[in-house]
Chains A and B, each alone.
Chain A
Amino acid sequence: MKRFFSGWSLIRLYTILVYVFLFAPIVAVIILSFNPEQFGSFPMKGFSFRWYVKLAQNDSILHAFKNSMILGSLTALLVTTIGVPAAMAFVRYEFPGKNALNTLLLTPIMIPEVVLGVALLLFIRWLQQPKSFLLLLIGHVVITLPYVLLVVQARLVGIRREYEEAAMTLGANAFHTFREVTLPLLMPAILAGMLFAFTISFDDVTATLFWATAHNQTVPVKIFGMLRNSISPEINALGTVMIALTVSVPLLAGYLSRRFSRGGS
């Protein structure tokens, strides 16, 4: 009995409670998505894929899903194309205003997304351009760039300069050195950065609410819209799909990068 009430078992209990608090709502969403009834309550009266089928037949949601996938993928691609050279410049070269510029590129993390959303919108208005998919893409690149920069810079600092110097003394020019040495060693960070960018873009609501048009809805914005009318169990199914996606993609990528990057420290 004394053992049971020792400090450690209290900490264990506390930890379990924290996890329950964190994950219970998510688990509830997943379980309720298989509930055949319109209004979810426990205990469930059966098990069905009814809402998944309905989801698959909902064109506007599928459209939003397609939008989200395209937007997330393009954001990931674009942001690494911009972020990797920028990180290289910040870590490997000296130039005036380097620290100021680096801080500037990282500020989107610190600025509230509402402010960012409104600011970009006003900027577009000032340029007298309509809201468009391009606006969404630019916005998401701005939001995700700091994450890519941070991840890639951290890795780059860990890649010793000597690898590149050895390649150069052996006859590789700057481009070959990057392609043959720096890029492969940087790959895990680049993949991680792309994943960050994709997931952040995929589930961003606040800023995207300002930038999306009726035609360019993303999944989170769509869910937000659906919630205003009614709470349909479809949302549970959609939520479950999104959870599966955002959890499995990074896990898969982590597995793949471990599988394929044989060296690297």
Chain B
Amino acid sequence: MIAFTLNGAPVGTDAPPTERLSETLRERLGMVGTKVGCDAGDCGACTVLLDGAAVCACLTPVARVEGRAVTTIEGETAELSRLCASFHAHGAAQCGICTPGMLLTAAELLARTAQPTAEEVEQALGGVLCRCTGYRSIIAAVVAAGGPLPAAPTDGVGASVLRLDGAAKVAGDSFGADEWPVGALVVKAVRSPHPHAAFQIGDLGPFRARPGVVTILTAADIPGRNAFSVIPPFADQPAIAASPARFRGECAALVAFEPGTDPDLTGFPITWTPLPALTTPAEAEVGDLIHPTRPGNRLIEGRVQKGDAAAALAASAHVVEGEMTTAFVEHAYIEPEAGSAWAEGETLVIRACTQAPAMDREDTAAILGLPLDRVRIIPSAVGGGFGSKLDISLQPLIGLVTLKTGRPCRMVYSRQDSMTSTTKRHPAEMRGRIGCDAQGRITGVEFEGRFNTGAYSSWGPTVANRVPVHVSGPYLTPAITARARAIHTHGPVSGAFRGFGVPQGALWQETLYDRLADKAGIDRLEFRLINALRDGDASATGQTLRAVGIHDCLTALHPHWTRALADARGQKGRGVGIASCWYGCGNTALPNPSTIRIGVSPEGEVVLHQGATDIGQGSNTVIAQIAAEALGLPLAAFRLIGPDTALTPDAGKTSASRQTFVTGRAAKAAAEALRAEILRHANAGQGATLALDGPTLIVRDRGTTARIDLARLPTNAQGHALAAEATYDPPTSPLDADGQGAPYALYGYGAQMVELLVDAALGTVKLLKITAAHDVGRAINPMLARGQIEGGIAQGIGLALMEEYLPGRTENLHDYLIPTTSDVPPIESLLIEVPDPEGPFGAKGLGEHVLIPTAPAILNAIRHATGAEITRVPALPHRVLASTRGQA
């Protein structure tokens, strides 16, 4: 028995002495606020205090805490209370998975330094990774934790209402790994150690007879269709592979273990026969077919063709030609995939982290051969997604175990499971030309991109279609030929990652713009202003645009640009760079409706059935703000339900920067319909005001007051006295063979400016400041919008300077590097509001836009500082040095 003090109370455990303290806390003592991100000391998520010192619980043998005091997020200390309040007030918790570790690490700092400087905070928190916030709000929250907190508004579109789920986030929210039914089996996957290998499963008898092994499942056990894709016509990916495995990390078998036994896969009877692997698109285009129906291993090609680009370039005063290569990029959310499954009567219930519950339900039902109404998906809190948790991961696997055994089960991916088996950002090889006339006006663009889409389709078609549509950038481009093809390899599956290929395309286009501006002898920002799209201009796809905000964004940066150039002048190694973005919100030329239901309960609660999964970006708050504003009742009267496929209508997936726009419009429409229903009841006019007094709904209109006794109204199937539901689907038109059409109902715009210092001797880059202007149409919640900007910038920094996923080599968070506290410089966000008539209260999407300009602005600043033209990211120090010394 190991006895210690846990959050002030004595506890004992009979855990094995060298068990990880994180395991003991979570599994034996129920303290699931301690999050596990890597089991290797690389992320700091599991930080607890041991006699006041911050340690990784995953690296601490439980025997070491004998007789000592352990503090977790569930503990209440003076420092933790102050910090929790400050994190909440500063929007310092987005998804919340790193938050407990951040809070405890900060608590240790505050205990030794009561009023730390920002620099001290950066240093102290350097061992905790956050993938959402970009750290700046966290640093601000810790610095401010001692003082009085600002009063936050509680209502209104345009107000920085505190995150409605913020209190849960700072308390240690419940993620995929944090809840499971009693007696749940523990599921592990046998994964391919090779990028391409035939395999044979041997005699399972002896393994099955091992103590604790309950069942072993293979592809042969899948009752439905063992092929899925996020885009059903391309369904090609097995939930469990039948031989061969087509990428390293692919699941070949499942083993379910009794709880409390050692889930050890050592000795699993499987024989691997490595086969030749196609690792690059160049090899794959001439290699054996990975999927027999896809010649040249080409999944798809997207193209946009407008005017005669070749002729336009031939007649141009200035033309630049260039290439850009990018790497696999890992999403590196701190929450590895996790979830549990159980049966409720005839219904299979799956609770897991996801960005797309309705898609999970469809895919899982198809794989398991179940009718849709027998599968229920309950998203857990999601510890970061960024696109990868759109695709199913463990949902069909745990569903299968429960289906086959009749028992509840759970599965938690290791960091390596997560990194090897889930999707990546597409590596891109891009080339082409851009021309302008003597006045600097763009004449034409030729672009060709080859994208490594990995072993299976996932979002490859979306990337191939989005890139040509966006690769002009937010600039008037009279003639363009743009083609992007997605090529299968035996690499990890490339899927959705914040921007669907557009960030890669922008790296190519925006760096060429700088060279072209120089050639034309025009200031780089001025050059972009000359070409910035304006209302009434036609896009590359021939769509007439409105509410175009890029001119405003660039104009807002102008004074900063002038100041920054003056600051850098004559300073060795100093550089300033700029880049723009635009991004169409919602699916590309495809329907993507959202439905929202709002009711008023007999008790006088406004119940918002909110099916948009909040992966940290803030839809729980933003959708509620929109609904409250449109309904005319305070947020405090609202109760949120869902997401849950049994309780919430389909609000689509959290992707494509669509939730604020599309689900926001549905929420606004539903709230307006409910308001109309209420006004009808009260026989009141549009200008009436509403109020709730317990179960009484009070409607005041021009001096008259009507009282609706909610308890006396009949209730509907959901138990609501009054209710409304509305669906919104953005109006788009299909793209024709030349990629012409109106693929998106609205676009968001932005531009960012980077100031940096290049160390000429080492090739290292020190970012000094990033100024970001983003046209959000209408900032429903400015604090959340700034949080998106800062987090997107941090991922853009990673893309530009350090992130490169190499299968078999960087499958952990110490070889795969993402930015830490001191890698993200101060960020100044300028929120530009050019309302779009299609958006709710004028709002546009923002989530992906914010990442797009960062990396090209960094490369442009490096070029400004050194003259080096970097054509391959990440710009690791050795690449920067080689480039500055002409050794590229």
Please determine whether chains A and B interact with each other in the same assembly.
no
Residue ranges of A at the interface with B (Cβ–Cβ < 8 Å): none
